[in-house]
């Protein structure tokens, strides 16, 4: 019953009729099934955000904070995926009116990386720079030592920078495709018809089920297509300046090293 609801996005009322139960029991059973599911390990990968449309908002909630740039009420979901399109970090804390950087800075992942609570074992030297594992994101995220973004939006940098941007794009496509699979598999995320209080655990539950499908190598459904996005590069906070400076050096070293290897 729970899988049917998440897969097809059926309302509690529809399922109540099908299973001869009261609608409130459908919601209760769905929530009980995933109450232990919270978050996923914070390790490096590709990061992106996605907007999950909310079917309805409580009357006491200010709708303006939840209305996203596409014109509908939503919650913002931050996801980090590995090369197998498995999510290793999920954060559901921001209303749809918040941008990806604001959500990032409010996440546990960001806090742990900024404070050094996460320690990386594998360190490699690239052109004199100590490069630890890092997350890749688009230009909607700030450039930091642990989060590298492209040099430019449209290949307007140096040849080395353009090669780096192309390579980074391949990495970012992993999380974009993972999000497409997530919403393609669990259609409830295309129009979330649960209460706002239960939205986070429903979203995380779908992410965990998505991971199980990827690990089991289940057939992949047609990708849900996300709207194209672009916008200004976020400003760097005072507390981030040392991370930003180191990120600039690491990114340039990686770009120069990649270009040299490709030019041989």
The sign of the CA dihedral 101, 107, 111, 117 is: negative
Could you tell me how many helices (H) and strands (E) the chain has, helices first? Answer: 8, 7
Structure tokens at 136: 């890749």
**Is this prediction's pTM over 0.85?**
no
Q: C-alpha angle 212/216/220, rounded to 5°?
A: 85
> How far apart are alpha carbons 169 and 149 in whole angstroms?
9
Hey, where are the domains in the chain? 12-263
Give the per-residue pLDDT at 21. Answer: 65
Contact 87, 40 (CB under 8 A): yes
Instruction: Decide if pLDDT at 38 tops 50.
Output: no
Per-residue confidence band for 183, with pLDDT thresholds at 50, 70 and 90: very high
> How far apart are alpha carbons 217 and 137 in whole angstroms?
26
Contact 207, 90 (CB under 8 A): yes
Give helix 199-215 / helix 159-185 axis angle, nearest 10°: 100
Give the per-residue pLDDT at 42. Answer: 29
Tell the residue number behind the tokens 């309805």, with chain if given: 56
Backbone angles phi, psi at 196, to 5 degrees: -60, -35
Structure tokens at 53: 């449309």
The sign of the CA dihedral 194, 195, 201, 204 is: positive
Backbone angles phi, psi at 212, to 5 degrees: -60, -40
Instruction: Decide if pLDDT at 99 tops 50.
Output: yes
> How far apart are alpha carbons 206 and 180 in whole angstroms?
13
Note the pLDDT tens digit of each residue in 125-137: 888 888 787 888 9
Note the pLDDT tens digit of each residue in 137-173: 999 999 999 998 999 888 788 999 998 888 888 888 8
Please report, rounded to a whole number, the percentage of residues in the chain having pLDDT higher than 90: 35
> How far apart are alpha carbons 208 and 215 in whole angstroms?
11
| H/E segment holding residue 173 | helix 159-185
Per-residue confidence band for 5, with pLDDT thresholds at 50, 70 and 90: low
Instruction: Decide if pLDDT at 25 tops 90.
Output: no
């Amino acid at each position: 019953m729970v899988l049917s609801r998440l897969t097809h996005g059926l309302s509690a009322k529809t399922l109540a009729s099908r299973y001869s139960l009261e609608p409130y029991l459908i919601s209760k059973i769905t929530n009980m099934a995933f109450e232990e599911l919270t978050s996923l390990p914070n390790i490096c990968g590709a990061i992106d955000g996605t907007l999950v449309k909310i079917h309805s908002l409580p009357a006491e909630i200010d709708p303006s904070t939840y209305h996203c740039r596409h014109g509908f009420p939503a919650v913002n979901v931050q996801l980090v995926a590995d090369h197998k399109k498995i999510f290793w970090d999920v954060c559901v804390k921001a209303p749809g009116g918040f941008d990806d950087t604001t959500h990032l800075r409010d996440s546990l992942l960001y806090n742990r990386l900024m404070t050094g609570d996460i320690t990386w074992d594998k360190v490699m030297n690239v052109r004199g720079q100590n490069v630890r594992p890092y997350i890749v994101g688009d230009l909607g995220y700030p450039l930091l030592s642990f989060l590298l973004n492209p040099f430019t939006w449209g290949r307007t940098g140096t040849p080395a920078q353009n090669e780096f941007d192309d390579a980074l794009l391949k990495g970012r496509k992993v999380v974009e495709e993972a999000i497409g699979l997530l919403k393609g598999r669990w259609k409830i995320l295309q129009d979330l018809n649960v209460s706002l209080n239960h939205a986070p655990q429903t979203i995380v539950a779908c992410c965990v089920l998505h991971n199980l499908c990827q690990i089991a190598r289940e057939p992949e459904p047609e990708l849900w297509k996300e709207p194209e996005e672009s916008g200004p590069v976020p400003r760097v906070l005072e507390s981030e300046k040392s991370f930003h400076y180191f990120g600039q050096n690491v990114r340039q070293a990686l770009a120069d090293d990649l270009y040299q290897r490709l030019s041989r």
